[in-house]
Chain A
Amino acid sequence: MLSFAEIRRSVLVSAWFMFLTFPVMVIRVNPIEEVVEWRWRNLIMVGAGSFLISFVWRYLIARKERGKKAAEAGRAGGPPLARRAAVHAGFHKPLMGALAVFVLIFPFLFSTYQVNIMATALIYVMLGLGLNIVIGLAGLLDLGYVAFYAVGAYAYALLNHHFGLGFWAVLPIGAVMGATFGILLGFPVLRLRGDYLAIVTLGFGEIIRLVLENWNDFSFGPSGIANIDRPGFFGVEMSLEAATNYVYYLLIGLVLMTIFFVNRLQNSRIGRAWIALREDEIACQAMGIDKTKTKLTAFALGATWAGMAGVVFAAKTTFINPASFTFLESAIILSIVVLGGMGSIPGVIVGALVLILLPEYLRAFSDYRMLLFGAILVIMMVFRPEGLIAGARRVYEFKGKKETSDTADGIHT
């Protein structure tokens, strides 16, 4: 394997990277003190590192290519181990049971801090599942999703501040507000396709944030809104720990509801229309699907979840300001959907847990965590562009007798 040609290639790669990173890695200038620091050690490290990594990289690329060829030739191996284990009925029920028990007793096992960050991750699960409707199912690239999240959060914060409305009253209002804004954005962009849509939604997200930042009389500007009420429970006074646990269970409930709805939607008439729209717009219209209505529903429903997640976010942190709703946030939610696996519910859930919990536990490498985050996104996409858990395509097979989709689920993937 370590042929001469291979080594020569890696040497070339290594030399190229030493050249490439030379100004940034080796020289550090301090124009203020007018000193230049030469860090030759970094050059050696870059050279050695890229030499080794280039082998791994090529090996992985080759493996990926082989896998693709094998799949094309129809020699696909059996489903992955996890999937096989899952399909096996003997594993299925106990595993689900164990998971349910674990989720339920989680707050009793871990500290309030752990529960709190888990609750944060669950908010992102909601956001991811919502965006999954727009991107994963309907195939509309939305880079301004965070705008609807902001709408929900500010709806609760402002209604609570001015009129003292409680969490439970505003949760549906936040959902409706989100949907309304979704339709508002949806109308003008209906004609746009692909990347034009992306930049317009990005602009829309920025407009919402800028308005919140500048319109002090309405939104209190960049100083934000503090002392937002936590979710109430029949007026019971709660300690911090109880309140955190309560938010956690509340989010578990909302996430379960979201999963239920999205799953139902996915398999409904409108869900199949979305997928058809994603695959081919013209063919879809030819089949008699109302494009306008279908796209608008996707925007509206996606935004509904963001609105609700926003309400929960405001209630959980008790303080919001426009800085929480930047483009980077949209990019993170988008990454959750794509990294997890577009169109796949478990994929999005795993994506959210990984992307949100990982930086929390990477605190030890805090300086490097955004660097790693960026690198992981690139590496994941290069080697597994379909995401951690790929969305399963619905396949209808004629097996001689009628099968319901539920029982077929395990076989066709």
Chain B
Amino acid sequence: MKRMILSGVSVLAMTCAASAAELGAVDEPIKLAINEWTGQHISTHIGGEMLKAAGYKVEYVTAGYMNMYQAMADGDLHAALEIWSSNVSEDYAKQVEAGGVVELGDLELDAKEGIAYPAHVAEMCPGLPAWEALKDCAANFASAETLPMGRLVDYPADWGTPGADRMTGLELPFKAVPAGSEGALIAELRASTEKKSPLLITFWQPHWAMSAYDVQFVDLPAGEAACFEDASWGPNPNAVNDCDFSPTRIFKGAWAGMEEKWPAAFEILSNYTLDVSVQQPLMGAIDVDGGSVEEVVAAWMSENEGVWKPVVDAALN
């Protein structure tokens, strides 16, 4: 956490000294995918405004996160700027393999996933945030569906079952219940906070709910690569997955024809990165304070020209 905040000043790390590129078809709009969550809106709008600054037309197109890759391969959508490796659709890999979609490199948004709980739960399970504490207070988390085990609210089934995998790996007496949707996860957090009831949940950051409901992560053994392959690694000698989540990579993807059609834009988006310490406050300005994405991003862009301008200039000159 601390490390992230400290590095927040140098928001955009320039990975390479870019060579000048052609603008390409500036008359045709570049369509950027707008998915279902605020953080992504911010990432996309910053990237889009950079393209506009370079002289492109940009169109923001709403697109379902899970279903957009076919459209990208068809050239109906041109880029998506915040793809999470933790819950990317299998379709993405298929389209990359088929050659319709290419990766644009990391967004370098430092994300973390983990087993989490609202702060008030710490009182119900002394010893938290250490994961071992969960062994003894599982009963406090029990519900009608999971009795006698505790209940862990896991990601929706179509995002995978990382929570359930941890519980099995660490032999914790919890049964994972898939949430079905992000809205359901948030509703669980909200209800738990309102009712002061126990809740263990699989969650991630950056997310506006982390601060809104004072969500804390459980400390799990570090998620090294060995943990996921070698059963003997970690506290449970008989199982894999007995550790924290593998670090989530957040990256960008684009239509394969983009490099040819808009070479400079392709380069700008490839070099575009965003720090979590930038995204998080902007998210608050929108979701908590009620600002619009356009206004909030425009304000940040005008105040932080020094951060993003070099990336645009590097591609053009």
**A in complex with B:** no
